[in-house]
Amino acid sequence: MRDRFSVDPAILRRGAEELTKTADNTAEAASTAKGADGSSGAFGASEGGKELAEAWSALVKARVAEMKSLAHETDQLAGTVREAADSYEWEDSDHSETIRRQEKALAGERERPRRESASRIAPGTSGD
């Protein structure tokens, strides 16, 4: 026997909200990290200090870019999860409507023979 697969769109939406919060927090962290760049003289005025400051600056910029990218990708994932929740709801609604139409059609087909046989019975007779 196969297990039935089901999805709760509300759970997907809660997950999407958590992803959005994570994206926002990551973007905020990137903004904070940007402040760690410092000035070109942060490691002293010597040639070595300047080289270290340049390397540090490049490292900070790279990490900030990675964090911004991660925030963007996480936000996109949140949108995809929301779309999936909507899709499951629409799909369920479509299937429910299809089932209702089929049930109506089937009920109508069952009623038709009864009506047809009732119309063949002459008025004033029992049909026996």
- Mean pLDDT of each 10-residue bin along the chain, 128 residues long: 79 97 98 86 87 92 97 98 91 70 74 64 57
**What is the pLDDT at residue 115?**
61
pLDDT at 103: 73
Predicted pLDDT of residue 28 = 98
Q: What is the pLDDT of residue 33?
A: 93
Burial of 9 (0-12, 13-18, 19+ CB in 10 A): middle
Q: Which pLDDT score, from 0 to 100, does residue 127 have? A: 54
Could you tell me which residues come within 8 angstroms of residue 53 by beta carbon, excluding any fewer than 6 positions away?
38, 39, 40, 41, 42, 43
pTM above 0.85, yes or no: no
Q: What residue spans define the domains of the chain? A: 9-119
Structure token pair of residue 108: 């109508």
